[in-house]
Amino acid sequence: MMEYTDKVMKEFQNPKNVGELKDANGIGEVGSPACGDIMRMYLKISDDGVIEDASFKTFGCGAAIASSSKATEMIKGQTIEQASKLKNSDVVEELGGLPQQKIHCSVLAAEAIAAAIEDYNSRKAAQA
């Protein structure tokens, strides 16, 4: 259906890191109900700037769920600096490709992570 790759279907059926992170210190949300796409990323970042843990919640299609799940897997264990460099094309590659009209789901996932990192940074700045 929708010509999704096997990897996308696998991710959709068994998404990783679903849910809220109770001790998240960076939370980012993009999209809106009207758009039909909302992604919320929860990050737990250590004092030395490493993403110890990541989880997501998504309202969206198969590609959206697969993209956000895959993105959390990719950034776990990375530094904030590394995670900030995450491009949507990286996510698409890890998923073995996305149909043309679904590429924007991967963009949203990268944007949600960026938003979560920004949230972490502004919280840190506020504490300083």
Partner 1 sequence: MKRIYLDNAATTPVDERVLQEMLPYFTEKFGNPSSVYHEAHEAKFAVEAARLQIAQAIGADAKEIYFTAGGSESDNWALKGVAFKNRKKGKHIITSEIEHHAILHTCEFLEKEGFDVTYLPVDSKGLVSIDDVKKAIRDDTILVSIMFANNEIGTIEPIKEIAEVVKAKGIIFHTDAVQALGNIPVNVKDLNVDMLSMSSHKIYGPKGVGALYIRKGVPIVPLIHGGGQERNRRASTENVPGIVGFGKAAELAVQELDANMAHMRELRDALIEGVTTRIPQVRLNGHPTQRLPGNANFCFDYIEGESILLSLDLIGVSGSSGSACTSGSLDPSHVLLAIGLPAGVAHGSLRLTMGRHTTMEDINYVVDNLVTIIERLRKMSPIDANSPIDDTVYDHKK
* DSSP SS3 for 112: helix
Please give the helix or strand (H or E) that residue 40 lies within, else none.
strand 37-45
Beta carbons within 8 Å of 42's beta carbon, 6+ residues apart: 20, 21, 24, 26, 27, 54, 55, 56, 57, 116
Q: What is the smallest separation between the CB atom of 19 and partner 1, expressed in angstroms?
A: 4
Q: Can you tell me which of 11, 26, 28, 42 binds partner 1, judged by CB under 8 A? A: 42
Selecting among 2, 13, 19, 35, the annotated active-site residue is 35
Selecting among 45, 66, 105, 109, the annotated active-site residue is 105
Q: What is the smallest separation between the CB atom of 32 and partner 1, expressed in angstroms?
A: 7
Interface residues with partner 1 (CB under 8 A) are: 1-2, 4, 9, 12-13, 15, 17-22, 29, 32-40, 42, 44, 53, 55, 57-65, 101
